[in-house]
A and B are shown apart, each in its own frame.
Chain A
Amino acid sequence: MAKHLVIYTLAHQPHRLKLPAQPIPPGAAADDIARCLFDQRMDQFYFGRAAGKCYHPAIAAFTEFLCAGGKLCFGISETLLDQITRWDPSLLEALTGFVHHPNCELITVEPEHSLIFYLDIRRFVEGLGRYRQRLEREFGVVAQVADTTEMFMSNDLYFALARAGMRGGFMDGRSWVLDWRSPTHLYHHQLPTAILARHTDLSDDVGYRFSNRSWHGWPLLASDWAEWIAKAEGDFVFVGWDFETFGEHQWQDSGIFDFIAALPGELKRCGVECLGASEVMDRFADHSFDLPLPAFPSTWAGDGGVGFFLGNPIQQALFQLMHHAYNKAILTDDPALVDLAVKLTQSDVLHLTQWFGRSGDEAQVSAYFTPREWWALGPDRIVWEAQQVFKNFIAACDPAAVAAVRQSTPLDLASDLDDREDGSDPRGVTRERGPQEAHHKTKAQ
C-alpha cells in the first residue's frame, strides 16, 4: 500500500495572442512587434480574475496545508511570474513566503510553457537552466526537479533533463507508456535521473471530476480520497494539477478549498505521509526501475498523447508556423526576435485551438479556456487570425533578416565543405564525397 503522497501543482498564465492579428509596422523594433503579437490587456484581465479567484486564496489555503504538515511541489511558469511581478506585488509577496515554506519544494519548468523542445532541444535545455537560475535569484531556492511543458515526456526529453543537470522530472502515468507497470514507483532510464509518474486517475478525481455532479464519486470528500491514496498499490502516489484547479477550474463554492483544508488530517488518519519530489528520489533511489521511454511523448493533457495539441489540421498548421517563425527569427541573429519566436511556441496556442472541428469533453475544456473575447470572431476567423499572427511576425523579421544576410558570410560551414575538393572537413574530419555531390561539383565547375 502507498504510504506516501507527492503533490505537484503548476501555476501558469499564457501570453495570449492578440486577435484579430494586429498589423505590424515595417521595421518595427522587437518591443513593438511584441505588443502587436500578444494581448497584454487581455492577459491582465484574465490574470486579475485568476488572482482573485485562485492565486490569492489558493496560496493561503496551501500555506495552511503546509503548516498542517502537508507538502507540496510547486512550479510556476516565467510568463506568470512576470505577470505577478508586473501587476500584483502583494501576490508576489505571498508567493515568496509560500515558496520559502520548508514544506514547499520549488520545481523549475520550461519558462514559456512552450513547445520549443520540438524545434530546438538545445534552447530547451538552456531555458530550463536559465529559469532555474532566475528562480534561485528570486526565491533563493535551487530547484532540483523539472517539469516540462504540459508534462511532456519522451526519450529525448528525458535526456534533455539530464543534460540540464536536473535530478529528476515528471511524466504522466499513462498505461500506453507504463504498459504493465504502476505509476506508484520511481523510474529512471539509463541514467540516475529520476522520473515520477503522475497517477492519472487519482489526479483527475480532483483536477477534472471534483465538480462533476454526474460522477459517481461526487461529492469528493478528503476522507474518501485519502483512503483511495492509501489503498493504492506501490511505494507512493504522485498527483499533479494545474494550480488554477483551486478556485478557477473548480470554483470556491465547489468546496475545493475545504477539501484542501481537510486533507492533512485525513491523510494522517489514513497513514499517508506527504513528501516532496526530491524526498521521494532520496527515499526510493534504491528502488527505482528502468522505464523504456517512448519516442512519441506523453502529456498530462487530454488523452495523454500529442493528439491534444496536434490532432487537427489547424493545430498542425500553427505548429508549422511555429517552426517557420522560429527559424526566421534565428536567421535574423537578433536575440530579442528569437525570444519572441519562442514565446510564440507556447503550447497554449495549440491548446486553445484544440476544439476546432471536434466535440466531446476535451473540446469543451479547450473551448472553455479560449478567451471569451475571441468568440465574437467566430471559430473560422479565430484560427485564421491566429495563423495571421505568425505570418505577421515572419514578415516583420524581414528587415533584421536582410541586415543579417548583409552582415554575415553566407553559411560558412556549408560553403567551406563544398569548396574543399578533397572532401575534408575544415574541422579536420575527412569524409567521403558521395557520387551525387561529386557530380554536382563537376557540373558547377
Chain B
Amino acid sequence: MALAPSDCIFAVLCFEGPDRYALAGGLGSRVSGLTEALARSGATTHLYFIGDPGAPSVEERIEGRLVLHRWSQWISRYYPNGVYDGENEKLYDFNETAPWHVADHLAQLAVKGRKHLVVLGEDWHSAEAICRTSDLLHARGLRSHATLIWNANNPMGFERINWGRLGYIANLTTVSRYMKHYMWGLGQNPTVIPNGIPEHLVAPIPAAQVQRVRSALRADGAGPVFVKVARWDPDKRWNMAVSAVSRLRGRGIAARLIAKGGIEPHQREVFGNAVAAGLSIADVPVGESPTPETLADALRSAAAADVINLQGYLPVDLLQVLYRAADAVLANSGMEPFGLVGLEAMAAGAVVFTGSTGEDYARPFQNAIVLETDDPGEIAQYWDQLQSSPALVEHMRQAALATAAEYTWSEVLSALFHRLDYLAAASPR
C-alpha cells in the first residue's frame, strides 16, 4: 500500500523558495509549488530556504501544514541582492544548521506522531546538508524512520558534490530522462519524477487581459511577437532567438522579441549581436507591482523597438498573460534539464518552441514545436509553417493545455507517492 500524504512529514531543503528574495529561477517556482501542493495534499511540510531577511523567520501557511523556515536570515541581512548573493556564506550556515533542526525537531515530531519523515534536498546546495542529516539521524537512532531524497534539477554544481557519499545515503531523483542519462555518466541512476506546475496555471486566463497585452505587443504593426523568458545563459540560446527575429525582419516580417532575462553578463553579448544584426533594443522597466495594464502601457512606450528588454520582477500570473498574448514563446534552450518555462507557457495555451533535451512533455507538432538544432533558420522555417496552418496552431494550443494539465502538482504528487513507497522500502540506511 502506497504511503499517504498524511502519513508523512516532509522536510524540503532548498536555497530557493517562495519569497521574492529567494526566487531566482525555475527552482524557486518548483519548490514553492511542490511544498504548497504537498501541504494541500495533507502532508505536513517544512521548507528550509534562504528567505527574505525582513520576513518572519518561521511562517505557517495552509492551516499550519506548510511551515516556511527562512534560514540564514542573519547572513542574508548583509546580502540584499537575493538568494545567491553571499552564496558561500549562506551555504556554510545552511549546512551547519539546517540538518540539526531537521534531526532534532522534525525527526522527533515524526517519531512522536508515528509519521514517516521524508527529507528532500533540492540541487547541489542541499547535497551536503542531506548527507549531514543522514549522519545526525544515524547518531540519534532515527535513520530508519526517514527516507532521504536528493533531487537534481540541473547539473549546476555537480562538481561540488561528493557523489559516493550522497549516492550511498540518499535516494537520488531527477526531473527528466535527459537528466537521468546525464547522471548515468556520474555512476548514478536517479529515479525520474517530473517537475510540476501549480493548478491555477491551467485555469483560463482572462481574455481581456490577454487582449490588452496582445494589442500592446503588436502596437506599431509588429508581428509576429515572440517572448523569451530565461537567464542570460548560452544554454538558453538567446543568440538563436535574436538571429531568428533578425532573419524574419530581413524578409520584411515585423518580428519582435520580448526578452525577460536575469542579471547575468551574457546579456551584453546577446544585445551586442542584436545591434550588429540591425535590431533596435529598448529597456522597459515593469515597475514594482506590475499588472496587465501597467505592462501594456510599458510595452507601448517602446513600440518602435525590435527587442524589448523587460526589466524587473514579473509574477508568474502576469507571465502567463504575456505567454498567451504572444504569437509564440521561445523556450529554445540547447540544454534544459526539464524546461519549466516551456511547460508554464503551454499551461497558458501558448505556442511554444522548446529545445529537445529535458522537455519530456513536448511532442513535436502535437503540443509544441521541438527544435533539434541551434539554427535560427529552424525557428523561422517552422514559423512559416505555422503561419500557413492556423488549424495546427489551434490544435497545438489545445494540446498544450491538455499536456500541462497532466503536469499539475497534484498529478505529479500522485506519481511521487507511488514512487515514494518503493524509495522508502529501498532507502539507504
Interface residue ranges, A against B (CB under 8 Å):
20, 22-28, 32, 35, 41
Interchain CB contact (< 8 A) of B89 among A20, A24, A41: A24
| Chain B 74-103 interface residues, beta-carbon cutoff 8 Å to A | 74-75, 78-79, 86, 88-89, 92-93, 96, 100
| Chain B 367-426 interface residues, beta-carbon cutoff 8 Å to A | none
Distance A35 CA – B97 CA, assembled complex (angstroms): 12
The interface size bin for chain B is 10 to 19
Task: Let me know if A22 and B93 touch, CB within 8 A.
Answer: yes
Q: Which residues of B contact A23 (CB under 8 A)?
A: 88-89, 92
Closest-by-CB residue of A relative to B87 is A23
Task: Let me know if A28 and B78 touch, CB within 8 A.
Answer: yes
**B400 to chain A: closest CB distance in Å?**
45
Task: Let me know if A25 and B100 touch, CB within 8 A.
Answer: no
A-B contact pairs, 22 of them (CB 8 A): A20-B92, A22-B89, A22-B92, A22-B93, A22-B96, A23-B88, A23-B89, A23-B92, A24-B89, A25-B75, A25-B78, A25-B79, A25-B86, A25-B89, A26-B78, A27-B78, A28-B78, A32-B74, A32-B75, A32-B78, A35-B74, A41-B100
A interface, by DSSP: helix, strand, loop or mixed? Answer: loop
Closest-by-CB residue of B relative to A26 is B78
Q: Give me the 8 closest cross-chain CB pairs, A-B, nearest first.
A: A25-B78, A23-B89, A22-B92, A25-B89, A23-B88, A25-B75, A27-B78, A25-B86
| Chain B 304-345 interface residues, beta-carbon cutoff 8 Å to A | none
Closest-by-CB residue of A relative to B100 is A41
Q: Which residues of A contact B75 (CB under 8 A)?
A: 25, 32
Distance A35 CA – B73 CA, assembled complex (angstroms): 13
Distance A420 CA – B39 CA, assembled complex (angstroms): 77
17 new A-B contacts at CB < 8 Å, known A22-B93, A28-B78: A20-B92, A22-B89, A22-B96, A23-B88, A23-B89, A23-B92, A24-B89, A25-B75, A25-B78, A25-B79, A25-B89, A26-B78, A27-B78, A32-B74, A32-B75, A32-B78, A41-B100
Q: Which residues of B contact A20 (CB under 8 A)?
A: 92
Distance A367 CA – B92 CA, assembled complex (angstroms): 26
Distance A28 CA – B89 CA, assembled complex (angstroms): 12
Distance A24 CA – B90 CA, assembled complex (angstroms): 10
**A396 to chain B: closest CB distance in Å?**
11
**A191 to chain B: closest CB distance in Å?**
49
Distance A300 CA – B164 CA, assembled complex (angstroms): 46
Q: Which residues of B contact A22 (CB under 8 A)?
A: 89, 92-93, 96
Closest-by-CB residue of B relative to A23 is B89
Distance A438 CA – B89 CA, assembled complex (angstroms): 51
Closest-by-CB residue of A relative to B93 is A22
**B97 to chain A: closest CB distance in Å?**
9
Q: Which residues of B contact A35 (CB under 8 A)?
A: 74
Q: Which residues of A contact B96 (CB under 8 A)?
A: 22
**A40 to chain B: closest CB distance in Å?**
11
Q: Which residues of B contact A28 (CB under 8 A)?
A: 78
Distance A322 CA – B228 CA, assembled complex (angstroms): 54
Closest-by-CB residue of A relative to B78 is A25
Q: Which residues of A contact B89 (CB under 8 A)?
A: 22-25
Distance A32 CA – B74 CA, assembled complex (angstroms): 8
**A131 to chain B: closest CB distance in Å?**
29
User: Which of B75, B79, B88 has the largest count of A CB atoms less than 10 A from its CB?
Assistant: B75
Interface residues as binary, B217-240 with A (CB distance below 8 Å gives 1, 0 otherwise): 000000000000000000000000
